[in-house]
Amino acid sequence: MTSYEEILESAKRLSSVERLQLADASLAEELGFGMWRERDDVADAENYVSDLREKDMRTPDGREKTLEEFLRATETS
């Protein structure tokens, strides 16, 4: 496995534009599924997040929330 230091040295050789692209890609990964991949209790991050989103879009009785219900729940959490 490549060490952090090796990756950092490689990144330093990138142009400014490439460094920004790398930073954007890294941030997108972290905000997407990256933070879930670090958890021991999450075997498949993409499915886990998909299940969370599906749960958030439904009421306790299984009905799909209206936009207003979804936004209200989002604002209170």
Distance CA 66, CA 14 (A): 47
Q: Which pTM does this prediction carry?
A: 0.49
Q: Which two tokens stand for residue 12?
A: 């330093």
Residue 67 CB partners (closer than 8 Å, separation 6+)? none
Q: Which two tokens stand for residue 1?
A: 């496995």
- Average model confidence (pLDDT) across the chain: 87
Percent of the chain at pLDDT exceeding 90: 39
> Are 36 and 45 spatial neighbours (Cβ–Cβ below 8 Å)?
yes
- Mean pLDDT score, 53-59: 90
- Mean pLDDT score, 41-55: 88
Query: pLDDT tens-digit profile of 3-26?
Result: 999 999 999 999 999 999 999 888
